[in-house]
A and B are shown apart, each in its own frame.
Chain A
Amino acid sequence: MTETPNPVAFTTERLAKVKEIIARYPEGRQKSALLPVLHVAQEQWGWVSSEVMDYVADILSIKPVEVYEVASFYTMYHLDAVGKHVIEYCRTGPCCLMGGEEIYDYLKQKLGIQAGQTTPDGLFTLKEVECLAACGWGPVFQIREKFYMNLTRERVDEIIEELSK
């Protein structure tokens, strides 16, 4: 599990990145930086806790509720602690046509968890997502920025083994 450091603060490197992001928008439009900055926060802490959201609100000079309503609207932001690897599994039609449901069942069985759960060793969290725009290469899941495509049982075995090391 990723621990939320206390006090909450971006690393020097990430703070510089956040400042660069804010500078992209016209004067007074720094709220536009909210989605990208939440991605940077999630990169650092693995998920966005309410403390992190308050911190982001402070940095962008907006109200905390403006961050909460956005973080809870978009599906990519994790509002609870997650495992080391978050598997975001596509459950939409075109992937299902390619056997996506069967592979999903296999993956759940292999990890011993259901959607929304984390393995007891804290290594994997499973999340169901909608279409990842990779339908021609389905079934598909994503871990952070990486797409794993044309999934088969054997491929799932390899990926899980590799990431368990």
Chain B
Amino acid sequence: MAKKILTEHINVPGIETFEVYRKQGGYTAVEKAIKTMTPEEVVEEAKKSGIRGRGGAGFPMGMKWGFLAKPEGVPRYLVCNADESEPGTFKDHHLMKCIPHLLIEGMIVSSFALGANKSFIYVRGELMYVIRILEKAIEEAKANGFLGKNILGSGYDLELVVQPGGGAYICGEETALLESLEGKRGNPRNKPPFPAVKGLYQSPTVVNNVESISNMPWVINNGGDAYAAIGIGRSTGTKLISASGHIQKPGVYEIELGVSVDEFLNSDEYCGGIRKGHHLKALVAGGSSVPILPAHLITKTAAGEDRLMSYESLSDGGFATGTMLGSGGFIVFDETACIVRNTWNFSRFYHHESCGQCSPCREGTGWMEKVLHRIEHGHGSMHDIDLLVDVAKKIEGNTICPLGDAAAWPVASAIRHFREEFEWHITNPHEATQPGAVFMGAVLA
């Protein structure tokens, strides 16, 4: 069995309660950190662990902590990003719902490390039932002396606030999240200044993903070096993967980084293979925004080596033949999936979720959606394919936040790898696909 850090106790009955969580060794990291370590030592362990941001960007968490400005007399904030909204990603939802105290414990040790006395967990508003679960866990932790004033008699105070969002994918972008937390529209901010210098209420702020923070109790208990020994190369530790689409066993799996894509996709421990009677056509490995890969580039890299579930191996070959680990939203397509329809669907998503600040994104996502809609519905022309590539290119890199890139990559990659399918839609307009219809009509059915 592969190493489990986050999900080891997830199936223990009653693990959502303080009592059971505590019996399984919960909150020992808080005791260890607060009673025997300095905040700097906790930061040092996070750095040693090599853990990279699990929300999608993959930036080293310890380094991010190291950037936090510490001016005298100014409060510092830790904000947990639980605005999980990237299509194909549902790991944080699962983790918070099943084992809420893990995140609470992680928030306490991380807040202690950063010198924050008030920390926030920003949860997407649609998960109101999860917010209630977290609030209950916070009450329990408080009643047992792990939160509030003078935690464990150390003199350290911490208050945790769970903040609901209002329904907006863009608030997963850290500066949009901070705007939202201040009670405003979720418009990403220009950077610099970065949140580490001017974040929430213009104070130094760290924003970390749920999964990143939830790793901290283990890192404190076992040491950053032990964490770094798990995984492969610079992809240290484990990763939660949300697996969906045409597989035998959709769900959330914790993998040790470095397991092969083939094993993850086909072994019974994980996805269990493609659903019966069908075969693999394409994969989106890290949430809807990362480039889609065709079957022949999924389990092997372009160089013919085994493709691994790691930041480096998934991006091997760049965007020409590779993709990204992203948020770990693993969406599997069998031969019945229509790539054009799916690309149109994703484009509609990004158009809907664009905050509207930057014109390349605001206008470009709408154009891509419209062009894809007409190709999908039998009104496209060959020129439209190049038009899409051109629009995607003009959005990419020209916006305040990465939503523009996230909208451009799925379109560009779908055309890069499945151009003939777009052409087929255009030359066979009368057979343009309908819901449930298959790849190139009768050709492969």
B86/A96 in contact, CB under 8 A: no
Most buried by B among A62, A129, A130: A130
A93/B118 in contact, CB under 8 A: no
In the complex, which residues 126-154 of chain B have their Cβ closer than 8 Å to any Cβ of chain A?
126-129, 132
A74/B331 in contact, CB under 8 A: no
* A104: nearest chain-B partner, CB-CB: B435
Stretch at the interface among A113-121, A134-142, A152-160: A134-142
Partner of A77, one of B85, B166, B181, B346: B166
A35/B87 in contact, CB under 8 A: no
Stretch at the interface among B108-116, B243-251, B308-316, B376-384: B243-251
B166/A75 in contact, CB under 8 A: yes
Q: CB of A7 within 8 A of chain B? A: no
Q: CB of B242 within 8 A of chain A? A: yes
A73/B331 in contact, CB under 8 A: no
A38: B residues at CB distance < 8 A = 166
Partner of B168, one of A25, A32, A75: A75
| Bound complex: CA A29 to CA B118 (Å) | 13
B180: A residues at CB distance < 8 A = 35
A51: B residues at CB distance < 8 A = none
Interface size for chain A: under 10, 10 to 19, 20 to 34, or 35 or more residues?
35 or more
Distance between A52 CB and nearest chain B CB, rounded to angstroms = 15
* B129: nearest chain-A partner, CB-CB: A145
Partner of A70, one of B124, B184, B244, B352: B184
Most buried by B among A92, A101, A147: A92
Question: Can you list, as one digit per residue, whether each of B75-88 has a CB less than 8 Å from chain A (1) or not (0)?
Answer: 10000000011111
A94/B244 in contact, CB under 8 A: yes
Total count of chain B residues near the partner, CB < 8 A: 59
Partner of B435, one of A60, A101, A131: A101
A94-B353 in contact given A39-B125, A70-B184 (Cβ < 8 Å): no
B124: A residues at CB distance < 8 A = 133
Partner of B163, one of A35, A91, A94, A133: A35
| Bound complex: CA A98 to CA B247 (Å) | 10
Partner of A39, one of B164, B245, B246, B346: B164
* A38: nearest chain-B partner, CB-CB: B166
Q: CB of A112 within 8 A of chain B? A: no
| Bound complex: CA A35 to CA B126 (Å) | 12
| Bound complex: CA A45 to CA B27 (Å) | 41
Question: Can you list, as one digit per residue, whether each of B203-244 has a CB less than 8 Å from chain A (1) or not (0)?
Answer: 000000000000000000000000000000000000000111
Distance between B263 CB and nearest chain A CB, rounded to angstroms = 19
Q: CB of B304 within 8 A of chain A? A: no
B168/A74 in contact, CB under 8 A: yes
In the complex, which residues 263-321 of chain B have their Cβ closer than 8 Å to any Cβ of chain A?
288
A93/B87 in contact, CB under 8 A: yes
Q: CB of B165 within 8 A of chain A? A: yes
Q: CB of B38 within 8 A of chain A? A: no
Q: CB of B427 within 8 A of chain A? A: no
A130/B246 in contact, CB under 8 A: no
Distance between B184 CB and nearest chain A CB, rounded to angstroms = 7
Q: CB of A146 within 8 A of chain B? A: yes
Distance between B54 CB and nearest chain A CB, rounded to angstroms = 14
B129/A135 in contact, CB under 8 A: no
B165/A32 in contact, CB under 8 A: no
Partner of B128, one of A92, A94, A134, A145: A145
- Contact surface of A with B, Cβ cutoff 8 Å: 24-26, 29, 31-36, 38-39, 60, 62, 66, 69-70, 73-77, 88, 91-94, 96-99, 101-102, 105, 129-138, 142, 144-147
**Can you name 16 A-B residue pairings with CB atoms under 8 Å?**
A35-B163, A35-B166, A39-B128, A39-B164, A39-B166, A93-B349, A101-B436, A130-B85, A131-B169, A133-B126, A135-B89, A135-B90, A142-B126, A145-B129, A145-B132, A146-B129
- Contact surface of B with A, Cβ cutoff 8 Å: 75, 84-90, 92-93, 118, 124-129, 132, 159, 161, 163-169, 180-186, 201, 242-246, 250-252, 288, 329, 331, 333, 337, 341-342, 345-346, 348-349, 352-353, 355, 435-436
| A-B pairs with lowest CB-CB distance, top 10 | A74-B166, A101-B435, A76-B167, A34-B183, A31-B183, A136-B250, A75-B167, A135-B244, A73-B185, A131-B87
